[in-house]
Every structure is written in C-alpha cells, then in structure tokens.
Structure 1
Amino acid sequence: MVLQRDKSVNIWGFGAVGEKVTVNFAGQTKTAITDDKGNWIVVLSPLKTSAVSQKMTISGSNKIVLDNILVGEVWLCSGQSNMEYAMRKLAKIPKPKNEKLGVPSDAVVKAKNTKIRIFLVNRKALIKPDSVHKSWALAQDSALRNFSAVGYFFAKVLQEKLGIPIGVISSAVPGSAIEPWISDEAFANEPFFKSQKVGNDPSKFYTPMVEPLTKFALRGFLWYQGETNCFLGENISYAYKMKALITSWRKAWKDESMPFYEVQIAPYNYAKTTGKVPMTSDTEPEFWEAQAQVLRLPNTGIVVTTDLNDNQEDLHPTYKWEVGRRLSLWALAKTYHQKINYSGPIYKSSQFKNGKAILELAYLNNAVITNDSKSLSGFTIAGKDGKFVNATAKLVGKTLEVSSSEIKQPTEVRYNWSENPSGNFYSNGLPALPFRTNNPLTNQFKTN
C-alpha cells in the first residue's frame, strides 16, 4: 500500500458499538470510539515521504497489523476501456508504426520496481470490508498483467522522475458512459441539467467504485473516457458532464484544487459506423472540442492523441505507454512544479487582417517542429461562405500566420478538424490540440 504524503490521512473501519480502537503508525497514535453503527475513523496528521516499509497496528477487541506500507503519491485512474486496457495485452500487439515511441511488450517481465504499488478496483468487492488490504499489490507479475497500462506507465515515469513511492488506483469499466461515474447529487447541482432527464444510469459506478474511495487521501485524478458518449453525438452536454464529474469528485475528496488530467479520445472512423445516432465527419472533432473545455477549469490538463492510432478502425489504440507518459508530463510540470515541456500548442485567439489569420497559441515555442520535417500541414481556412480550403501556416514571432491564395478575406481557421487527422503541427515534441477558431462552446459553456 502507498499512503498519500503531506495530507491528513483517514484510517477507518468497523467494530462493535462503543468499542475503543487505537491506530499506531509512523510514530502517531490515534484513538476512536465506534459510533452507534459500529463505524470508526481516525485522522493521521500529514505524513512525510517514506520509501522504507512501515507497519500499521490497529487494536480493538482484536488486532490487525498491516505491513509493507510506503508513503508517497497516490493517483486515481478512471474511465472506460482505454483506461482499463490491461498490461498483458501489450505482449501481443502488432509492431507500432511509430518506431520512435518504442514498444514495451516485455514491460511486465521487466517490472521490478517495488516503489510502485497498484490497486485494481473490483466493483463487487470494494464496498466489502478488507482488513488485510489484499487488493494492494506490487506493480509486477500477475497483478500488473491485469492492471491499467495507462496507469502503470504514468506511475513508472513519476517514480523515476520523483524518486518516491507511487500508488495508483484503477477504477474503470469497459464500454461505460460518463454518467455512471457521476452521482445523482452532482447532476442536480449542475444548472445545465436541472430541466433535463439524464440517462445512462447516473451513480451506477460512482456508488460502488468511487464513493468508497473518497476517504482515502489522493493527490489527483486521471481520466480516459468518451468513446461511448461520442457515439451518442454529444458535444456541449459532455462538457457539462465533465464539469459535474470534476467538481463533484473534488468536493467528495474535500479538495477543490485536486489536479484532473484527461486523455483525448483517439481518432476513429465514427462517420462509417451505423447506430441510433447518425455520425458525421464532424462528430469526433466536435467531441474533442467538448473535451477541451475542461482546460477552462482550474488545475486541469489534456493529453492529445491524434498521432497515437495506427488503425482508424480500432477504438483501442496500443500506444498506452505514450499516453501514460504524456499524462505524467502534465503532473510533473503542473502538480510537482518541474520545469519541463508538457503540452503541444493549444489555440487561444485569432485576428483576421490583410488576408491572413494571425493565431495566438499557448505552449508555442519560437521554433515549431513538425513530426516529419516537412512544412506545416493540417490547416484549412475559409471566408464568409464557409468553404474550407487547405492553407499555408508559418511561425511569425510568437504567432502563427495562416493563409491561402484562394481566400482573400478569411474568417475561420481549422486545424486537424477531422476524425482522420494528418496534421504535423508540434511544439515541445508534442502534437497540437485540434481546434477551430469559431468554436461555439467558447461562449456557450459556462464554468461558473
């Protein structure tokens, strides 16, 4: 097990009504009396980092000893199948096309770092008492084979860079929409949904797979979900669901500043699918736009995945090690304040004059580097008629100038606005977030 450092740590359980319980750990002794339902809780003062295994003794009418406990950083990973995607699958994946990213097919065999601990949530077992905490395991062997690849590679980089114990909890369900991960109360508190009936079983997974964890101190959250909601053609409604999830989870952990880093769903041929909701070539870019609204909330980040799918017919691209690494960059920079590059370009604003679009972007270095040493591509531009043509883009000072000889008076620019994006716009070694300059959610989505 890993306990969160530098925060108050809850230790809780149950016993006979009126029973006195004493907890000893790391030089602290705390006592509690069980309530009329037999529940008890003590709060340990913030703990210092410790890579040395320690024992916790819990004494009452019986005695429980928990050993091999470290103190470091703990993160919760959640979402649907791409977060749940297990390490064992990496041993059988085809050779990735992007050889520069490597392929850690033998990662489980090589995993020997005892400073990384993992906890795989079982939705049927989490709410049941577990006095020996058997769900915690070292990140190796059979436990690791069944664990989230994204979660593990995130933890691996963090442990290597920070040099401290890392604990990762994975609570994910394949095929799940976002609604089951949000409580009914959270939807009731979000004005956008007050006049709507929310489907997809709100609270279904929150109650058994998230709520029981809320007493356990964490540093932050990682989220990889959205494919199910994209198939429903969502845009602004998904942005508000993300807002409800983030706000309510932070409230549940009693920390409004907890970091929340999400992963953009990967490129996929949604327009070729048939279902209850018609899909178009705009469906996924509009969904990416909704996912990106999270960045307007404090202490959030997003991993771009437009370059991480070798097969547009595969909803579960294999580059999970790179997704985990990119998530770790956000955490290392924003949460742990390391001076590193952690994001590709993100659109901020635009001006249109002299037949050109002048774009301001965040995380834009003075030397834009494409991923193929060719001229910048993936940009389109349109005038008032809304007809887009391919555009030329070049870095001018700290802005990006986009133009086309076919459009004399441009009014809109798009980048990688496609479910099959091929743009090569990079900075800091990371891909740019797809965008359109006339994003309607800029005014429609309210953060307060």
Structure 2
Amino acid sequence: MNFKKFLFLLSTFALFTSNTFAEVTLPKILGHNMVLQQKKKVAIWGTAAPNEKIAVAFAGQIKTTIADNKGNWSLKLNPMQASFTPREMTIKGTNTIVLKNILVGEVWLCSGQSNMEYALRKYSDYKNLPEGSRPPEDDLNTASNANIRIFLDRRKYMDPSPEHLGWDTAIGRPLVDFSAVAYYFAKDLYSKLHVPVGMISAAVPGSRIEPWIQASKLETEPKLKNGKILDKLKADDGDTGKFYNTMIQPLIPYTLQGILWYQGESHCFLGENIRYAYKFKTLIESWRKDWQDKKMPFYFVQIAPYNYSVTKDRPLSTENLPEFWEAQALLLHLKNTALVSITDLVDNITDLHPRNKWEIGRRLSLLAANKTYGQQNIVYSGPVYQKMKIVNNSIEITFSNTGSGLSSRDGKPLSWFSIAGADGKYVPAIAEIKNNKIVVSAPQVQHPYSVRFGWNEAAQSNFINKEGLPAVPFRTDNPWEKLF
C-alpha cells in the first residue's frame, strides 16, 4: 500500500467514525432547570459531527440547522413570553437530549471579585448574627421560590457535560455557595416583575479586571479627549483573559437581559483611577459586542469605604478611594449604564467585605426596575452631582436623582462637604438644603471656587434623598470629566 492511499483510507475512516460516533453536545450553561430570556431571540448552540442536522424543539417551536465542517452549530428560538410552566426542550441529532423543567423570564449575569462572589453561607448562623449583619429573612432555611433559578459558573467546570445539570432552583443547598448579591437582586426583582428570574454568577475573589477581558481587546492605547495617549492597558497584568476564557466565553451567546458588576478593590489597592476607567470601558464594550447587544444594560456597584491608606504594599492617601469612585462614575458616560453607591453600608472600614449584601442586591434591583423595565415611579439612586453655581460667598449645587427631596439621614447637619478657593486648599464646609439644592460655604473661604463631597476613604455621609439612598461622592473640579 502506497503512502497516499494510506492517508486517503485514514482520512475516510476518521470521517466515518466522526459521523458515526460523534454525538450532539451542549455547553454547560444549557441544562435542566434553566431560565430562558423572554421577549428576545434565544440562542441555543453546541457541537456535533461535521454537517450533522440538528433539530431543537421547545414551546411549540421546532428549529433546525446543520453543523459546520468543524462540528459547531447554533440557532435561535423566536421570542417568547414569560412562563411559569415547566417545559422540556428536545435537541436531536444522532442522539437526543431532553432538558427538563425550563422556565421563561428574565436572565442576568453577575460578575466581579470577592464582594460579588460573597456567598449566602456567610449567613448560615442566622440566629447568632449581630443586628445589622442579619438579612431580613433566613433565606438559606426558608427560601421556597422555585421560580428563581441559579447557575454558579465555576472555574474548571464549564466543559460540556452529558448530565446537563447546570442550573438549580434557588432553594436549600444550592444557595449555600451562590452569590448573595445575585440572589437578593433576583428576589427583589421577582417581587417587582412577577416573572421567573435566572441568575448566573461568575466571580472570583481577588480578581482584577484584566483577567475578565479577552487579551486581544486590551491591545489598545486609549486616547484621551485632550490628545494624550495612555500606555497600553495590557501591560498592567499578566493574567489578561484568564477568567474570560474559562468562565465568560463558555457562556456566550446565552441570551441575557443584562449584566451586574461588582469589582475594583484590587485596583484601588494599586492606586488606579483613569486607567481603570478605560479598562472598565473596554470590558463593557467588548462584552456587549460578544453578546451582539450594544444596548445591553450594565449596572455596577461603587466599592465601599475602606482604609486603603494603611496598606503596606504601596503608599496610598485617604483620597485614592474617592478618585477610584470618580473613575467608576466616568462609565456613566456610556449608554445603559448605572451605579449604586454603598457608602452607607459599612459597619467597619477595616472590613473589605460589607455584610449586608441584601441591600446591595435590592439597590441593583431598583436600577433594573427603573431603567430596564420602565418602572419610572421607582427611585433607583441617591443624589448625583449635576452642576454648580457660585453665588456670592457660597456655591450652589444642583443634583439629579433627588427623588422626593434631599434630606439628612439622621437629621443632623450634612457631613463630609468641603470647599476651597482658587488656591485649592479645602476646608470643612457648612452644607444646607435650600430649594432642593445644596448651598455650601465656609467662613474662611470668601471667594469659593470648588466643592468636594465624601472625598475621603472613610466618608460615610448622612446626605441622602428622602428614599434613603446615599449621595454619590464627587468633586466639582474633576480633572477627568472632559477627557473621558
């Protein structure tokens, strides 16, 4: 037998065996108990033998496609209305897969580092938790809503599996390791929408933002509006794309409503600000592109007060955290983004992990209810700086998101305001509520120039709107606002 004939027979055998024995396989995210996104085309995909015909049947729909020459296939189901009826999905090729107990509703992806990963098991000793550290209900033992479904995206776990057991109902044991923020978001959102809710949690403690971004997307030199060019972003971390490749890419293109993000502590320890803002911008834009949804909602949490300045790794000041908050807030320039401030949710600024994740989840739910689901009567944010006006020896500050009015949480004078003249020397200021604006002044500053609020890593101000949501820290002399 000559060599060419041998190669021909070998290739023929390989083709025969691949078509004969290859079976349809599904990504881990497609499994029993999952929630499919309502009112959007729903992506279903997997692998099979090259050129194999695939049929998917669900809720009266039958869709067919043919795997490409590498065995990859995908199709989309027509948009569906929310449904509490558990239904089966059948995927048929050379083999048949039946996925059971599927609902249709709202699906959100939650990602970030330890504060997003923070699991409900932290509340397992519910009866002995101190007041303020105890959730309103003992959900680990009392949760009973089978219409909330959860998927925990674990590292080294996302390879296709023949069991298809990716999703769980948010009842009992599966909740123990699941993100508290994600669960409480779902719980509150369900109470507002009354449709099934599916949550995907993909978070890694201590992770920086670079591992969550595809390496090629960071091959950029961000150009500021003033023409200045930052150094390439990829140089900041050697693990670029690490978690994207293993935890995010396997989820794409599972149909989502939106994304929640809670991350940044690792970068605040590094003293980052504008560079983080550009990395965050890259992540948002690249993930939206991956999911082919330029308008996908992306809501995030401003990290909590913490005494970063005592770190021994590098010299940091008490203003590094406010500068990071400012960098996070720059992302509000992108459409369909919003943030929640949690400056009031810290019992101890030496604790990097605020315990009351139920309130953080609720605040994210307020964002979604108002901005994604059109419930305009819901106030979703505390006061946000809009503009300033110098009036004689004071500065008048106007805010958006004032709700039903500006207020003091404890009835005492507003705290953590400071004011400066043209010399930039800030002094503690008197801040008064007048006509739903804040008037800021100080006796020693007769010609005021700028104001700062909450400009310290320890700042936990009493300045709120009457809905109880805290004002977002700001400085009127933001050096980045016109550059981003």
Output the TM-score relative to the length of structure 2.
0.88
Aligned to 2:349: 312
Aligned to 2:154: 122
Offset of 1:142 from its aligned partner?
1.5
- Map residues 254-403 of structure 1 onto 2, 5 A cutoff: 254-275=292-313, 277-338=314-375, 339-365=377-403, 367-403=405-441
Moved more, 329-338 or 200-209: 200-209
Deviations 1:292-338 (A, max 9, x none): 11111111111111111111111111010000000000000000010
Give unmatched runs, 5+ long, in structure 2. Answer: 1-33, 224-228
Task: Describe the SS at the equivalent of 1:209.
Answer: helix
Offset of 1:199 from its aligned partner?
2.5
CA separation in 1, counterparts of 2:185 and 2:370?
13
Offset of 1:92 from its aligned partner?
3.9
CA separation in 1, counterparts of 2:124 and 2:246?
31
Q: Indicate which of 44, 59, 66 corresponds to 2:92.
A: 59
Moved more, 254-263 or 389-398: 389-398
Aligned to 2:22: none
Q: Indicate which of 275, 291, 313 corresponds to 1:237.
A: 275
Q: Indicate which of 461, 468, 477 corresponds to 1:429.
A: 468
Offset of 1:96 from its aligned partner?
5.5
Aligned to 2:63: 30
Task: Describe the SS at the equivalent of 1:358.
Answer: strand
Offset of 1:179 from its aligned partner?
0.7
Aligned to 1:211: 249
Q: Indicate which of 382, 402, 407 corresponds to 2:445.
A: 407
Offset of 1:59 from its aligned partner?
1.2
Q: Indicate which of 131, 135, 149 corresponds to 1:103.
A: 135
CA separation in 2, counterparts of 1:323 and 1:249?
23
CA separation in 2, counterparts of 1:190 and 1:340?
40
Amino acid aligned to 1:379:
F
Output the TM-score relative to the length of structure 1.
0.95
Q: Looking at CA atoms only, which structure, 1 or 2, has the larger radius of gyration?
A: 2
CA separation in 1, counterparts of 2:131 and 2:454?
20
Q: Indicate which of 33, 43, 46 corresponds to 1:13.
A: 46
Give unmatched runs, 5+ long, in structure 1. Answer: none
CA separation in 2, counterparts of 1:256 and 1:355?
46
Offset of 1:268 from its aligned partner?
0.6
Deviations 1:22-79 (A, max 9, x none): 1100111011122212221121111111111010011111111001000000000000
CA separation in 1, counterparts of 2:156 and 2:132?
39
Distance 1:71 1:366, change over 3 A: closer
Equivalent pair of 2:379/2:403 in contact (CA under 8 Å): no
Offset of 1:365 from its aligned partner?
4.2
Offset of 1:404 from its aligned partner?
1.3
**Percent identity for Structure 1 against Structure 2:** 52
Equivalent pair of 2:305/2:460 in contact (CA under 8 Å): no
Offset of 1:104 from its aligned partner?
3.7
RMSD across aligned positions (CA)? 1.7
Q: Indicate which of 126, 136, 139 corresponds to 2:170.
A: 139
Offset of 1:388 from its aligned partner?
1.8
Equivalent pair of 1:86/1:148 in contact (CA under 8 Å): yes
Moved more, 311-320 or 356-365: 356-365
Equivalent pair of 1:96/1:310 in contact (CA under 8 Å): no
CA separation in 1, counterparts of 2:320 and 2:286?
27
CA separation in 1, counterparts of 2:130 and 2:462?
18
